[in-house]
């Protein structure tokens, strides 16, 4: 029987960390792009479109992420689409992130005083110019903390993808624990690795907030 050395454990967990980071980036970038589109459509679209986007947001905010993963993973198979755990996890987390980010950013944009919109309109600026030169620079300050905070949540949410077979840090920890029978040490190491990923993001958001405030 093969015995895991300390180096073997560290190497396998670090390899799994790459997938955690990669999936987090896919979810955050894809969710950010889709979320930004949803914000624009919600601000400029028809009443029906706005209600449709609100329903989309409520569905993803009102149901467990674990259930969403199951629905995407098994739902794609029902429609005859062959998928992998990575593809299903990427799609699900992207949709999940877009719902939350669109709501965060919409709140930041709508927190800007109406006088700012009126002043921008009086200068004959188009909607895109109003957003670029007047609204977004102000909304950016309010949006940094919740956006980075949600990014930390996305990193931690990747742990749930282990239930559909995606081998990220939590799943790798389960596999190593089954082989070594050292659950406290393995899961403690996994927890420290999550902390090492999330804590710098929190520090960076504080520094960025401080620099923008100045």
161 phi and psi, to 5 degrees? -70, -10
Note whether residue 55 is domain-resident.
yes
- DSSP secondary structure code for residue 79 in this structure: T
Owning domain of residue 36: 6-213
Note whether residue 115 is domain-resident.
yes
Neighbours of 152 (CB within 10 A): 17
| CATH at residue 78 | 1.10.3720.10
By residue count, the chain amounts to 214
CA separation for the pair 171, 27 (Å, rounded): 18
Q: How many domains does the chain have?
A: 1
Q: Which residues in the chain land under pLDDT 50?
A: 1
Give start and end residues of each alpha helix (H) in the chain.
Answer: 6-44, 47-62, 65-78, 85-110, 114-122, 127-130, 136-157, 169-180, 183-213
Give the pLDDT confidence of 82-95 residue by residue, as tens digits.
Answer: 788 999 999 999 99
Note whether residue 1 is domain-resident.
no
pLDDT of amino acid 180: 86
8 A C-beta contact, residue 176 and residue 45: no
Note whether residue 205 is domain-resident.
yes
CA separation for the pair 89, 57 (Å, rounded): 18
pLDDT of amino acid 1: 47
Note whether residue 51 is domain-resident.
yes
Total-model pTM: 0.88
- DSSP secondary structure code for residue 135 in this structure: I
Range 13-17 contact pairs with CB under 8 angstroms and sequence separation of 24 or more:
13/169, 13/172, 13/173, 13/176, 13/189, 13/190, 13/193, 15/172, 16/167, 16/168, 16/169, 16/171, 16/172, 16/173, 17/168, 17/169, 17/193, 17/197
pLDDT of amino acid 125: 75
pLDDT of amino acid 138: 79
Note whether residue 203 is domain-resident.
yes
Note whether residue 167 is domain-resident.
yes
CA separation for the pair 125, 210 (Å, rounded): 30
8 A C-beta contact, residue 112 and residue 138: yes
Note whether residue 27 is domain-resident.
yes
Whose tokens are 């073997």? That residue is 8
């Amino acid at each position: 029987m093969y015995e895991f050395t300390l180096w073997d454990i560290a190497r396998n967990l670090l390899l799994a960390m790459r997938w955690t980071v990669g999936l987090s980036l896919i979810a955050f970038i894809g969710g950010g792009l889709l979320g930004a589109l949803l914000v624009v459509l919600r601000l400029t679209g028809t009443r029906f479109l706005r209600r449709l986007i609100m329903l989309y947001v409520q569905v993803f905010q009102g149901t467990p992420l674990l259930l969403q993963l199951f629905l995407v993973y098994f739902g794609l198979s029902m429609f005859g689409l062959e998928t992998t755990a990575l593809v299903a996890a990427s799609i699900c987390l992207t949709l999940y992130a877009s719902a939350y980010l669109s709501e965060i950013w919409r709140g930041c944009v709508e927190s800007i005083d109406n006088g700012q919109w009126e002043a921008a309109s009086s200068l004959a600026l188009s909607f895109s110019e109003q957003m670029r030169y007047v609204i977004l620079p102000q909304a950016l300050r309010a949006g940094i903390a919740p956006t980075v905070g949600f990014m930390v949540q996305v990193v931690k949410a990747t742990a749930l993808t282990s239930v559909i077979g995606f081998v990220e840090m939590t799943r790798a920890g389960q596999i190593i624990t089954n082989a070594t029978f050292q659950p406290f040490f393995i899961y403690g190491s996994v927890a420290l690795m999550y902390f090492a990923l999330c804590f710098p993001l929190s520090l960076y958001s504080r520094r960025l907030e401080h620099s923008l405030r100045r």
